């Protein structure tokens, strides 16, 4: 009887041992399955990210070359107009009404209006600014510079500080104006640098001047100031060309309100050369040049249909005679800023 009891106990222990082994194997298998699931998920996520990156890169390249196409399309229109001897009084819209307010006409005028064109799987939006339609920051006189900030509705104290800081930055001496700063201030910054004490090489050098923030520059002053000369064959080459000046420049030069400047730009865009000159003459200022702009800033944004990817490029080009041009500056952004809007 005792032997039979011992035998049964031994069999029960073996059975429990086998159950424990099975449970351990089951736990190991479940952990292995979980590990495989996690690895599969990570691999799937990595593959999706790589596929998306490849797609995005391809779209960026397409958008970039669309931006290139828009840039060269506008530049070709300007060079071609120069070869044909066109100007605002002598342009094809007198014979062909379809030319007026066409992309070619707007680009040749160089008044900063955006133009959209479809091309391939997307298109481009391009604007051309005549650099002589801006205020040359290197040659503008002190009184005129102060008046510019006042006309742009800056607070008087801020206007004085900005004007003095710019004048101290560009003049060759080390003397500080009443509201200006010299190298002592700039060398005390976390990332120190000396004052230029010379002419600016590019418009965005203004970002180094005290008080000029990126927001202030890119949302206003970049459309007002330039470092490039006007038409060198004119006695008044440093004067701002009101025939191509943007609304902010019209406001700054003429001392008119923002809404009036916007309306004046729209009326000028819809008028022929002679009518535009008469319109501007009513303000008692020189109407500027009737010739095709010599130095232009061209900005182009390439886009694809059904995609948020865009690429933006910009350059400053100078016409050389009737057949050529040279690039004075080139800018290439990996990511485009917010989509531009027409200034009309």
- Please write the tens of the pLDDT for every residue from 11-61: 555 555 555 666 677 777 788 888 878 777 777 777 667 666 666 778 889
Report the CATH number that the domain containing residue 24 is assigned in CATH. 3.30.1300.30
What tokens appear for 84 in the block? 């044909």
Question: Quick one: what percent of the chain has pLDDT higher than 70?
Answer: 77
pLDDT at 333: 74
- Please write the tens of the pLDDT for every residue from 294-314: 899 999 999 999 888 899 999
pLDDT at 195: 95
Going by pLDDT thresholds of 50, 70 and 90, the confidence category of residue 320 is confident
Please say whether the dihedral angle defined by the alpha carbons of residues 176, 179, 182 and 188, taken in this order, is positive or negative. positive
Comparing 49 with 62, the larger pLDDT belongs to: 62
264 shares its domain with 296? no
pLDDT at 293: 86
* Total domains present in the chain: 2
pLDDT at 147: 92
140 shares its domain with 125? no
128 shares its domain with 78? yes
Comparing 170 with 279, the larger pLDDT belongs to: 170
Question: Quick one: what percent of the chain has pLDDT higher than 90?
Answer: 47
184 shares its domain with 152? yes
20 shares its domain with 68? yes
pLDDT at 82: 80
274 shares its domain with 302? no
Going by pLDDT thresholds of 50, 70 and 90, the confidence category of residue 95 is very low
Domain boundary among 281, 303, 330: 281
- Please write the tens of the pLDDT for every residue from 133-160: 999 999 999 999 999 999 999 999 999 9
pLDDT at 1: 55
- Average pLDDT in the chain: 82
Check whether 343 has a pLDDT greater than 50.
Answer: no
47 shares its domain with 76? yes
46 shares its domain with 143? no
From 128-132, 173-177, 267-271, 313-317, the region with the lowest mean pLDDT: 267-271
* Top-ranked range on mean pLDDT: pick from 28-42, 184-198, 239-253: 184-198
Check whether 341 has a pLDDT greater than 50.
Answer: no
pLDDT at 6: 53
pTM higher than 0.85: no
189 shares its domain with 115? no
**Residue 117's domain spans which residues?**
1-133+241-246+289-344
Going by pLDDT thresholds of 50, 70 and 90, the confidence category of residue 287 is low
Check whether 66 has a pLDDT greater than 70.
Answer: yes
* Top-ranked range on mean pLDDT: pick from 17-21, 106-110, 338-342: 106-110
pLDDT at 42: 74
Domain boundary among 231, 265, 281: 281
Going by pLDDT thresholds of 50, 70 and 90, the confidence category of residue 234 is very low
208 shares its domain with 312? no
306 shares its domain with 268? no
31 shares its domain with 119? yes
Check whether 228 has a pLDDT greater than 70.
Answer: yes
Going by pLDDT thresholds of 50, 70 and 90, the confidence category of residue 336 is very low
């Amino acid at each position: 009887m005792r032997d039979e009891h011992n035998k049964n106990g031994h069999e029960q222990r073996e059975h429990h041992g086998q159950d424990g082994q099975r449970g351990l194997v089951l736990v190991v298998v479940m952990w292995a399955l979980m590990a495989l699931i996690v690895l599969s998920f990570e691999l799937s996520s990595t593959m999706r990210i790589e596929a998306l990156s490849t797609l995005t890169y391809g779209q960026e390249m397409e958008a970039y070359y669309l931006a290139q196409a828009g840039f060269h399309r506008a530049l070709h229109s300007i060079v071609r107009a120069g070869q044909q001897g066109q100007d605002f009084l002598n342009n094809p819209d007198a014979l062909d009404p379809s030319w007026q307010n066409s992309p070619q006409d707007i680009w040749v005028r160089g008044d900063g209006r955006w133009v959209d064109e479809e091309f391939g799987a997307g298109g481009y939006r391009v604007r051309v600014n005549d650099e002589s339609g801006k205020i040359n920051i290197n040659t503008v006189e002190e009184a005129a510079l102060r008046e510019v900030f006042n006309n742009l509705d800056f607070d008087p104290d801020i206007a004085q500080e900005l004007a003095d800081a710019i004048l101290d930055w560009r003049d060759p001496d080390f003397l500080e104006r009443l509201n200006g700063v010299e190298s002592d201030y700039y060398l005390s910054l976390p990332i120190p640098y000396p004052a230029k004490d010379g002419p600016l090489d590019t418009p965005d050098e203004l970002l180094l001047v005290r008080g000029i923030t990126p927001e202030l520059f890119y949302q206003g002053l970049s459309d007002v100031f330039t470092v490039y000369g006007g038409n060198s064959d004119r006695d008044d080459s440093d004067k701002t060309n009101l025939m191509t000046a943007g609304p902010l420049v019209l406001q700054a030069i003429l001392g008119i309100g923002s809404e009036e400047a916007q309306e004046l730009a729209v009326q000028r865009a819809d008028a022929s050369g002679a009518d535009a000159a008469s319109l501007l003459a009513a303000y008692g200022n020189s109407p500027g040049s009737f010739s095709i702009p010599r130095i232009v800033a061209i900005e182009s944004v390439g886009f694809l249909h059904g995609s948020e990817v865009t690429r933006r490029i910009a350059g400053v080009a100078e016409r050389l005679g009737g057949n050529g041009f040279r690039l004075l500056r080139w800018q290439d952004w990996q990511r485009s800023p917010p989509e531009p809007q027409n200034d009309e």
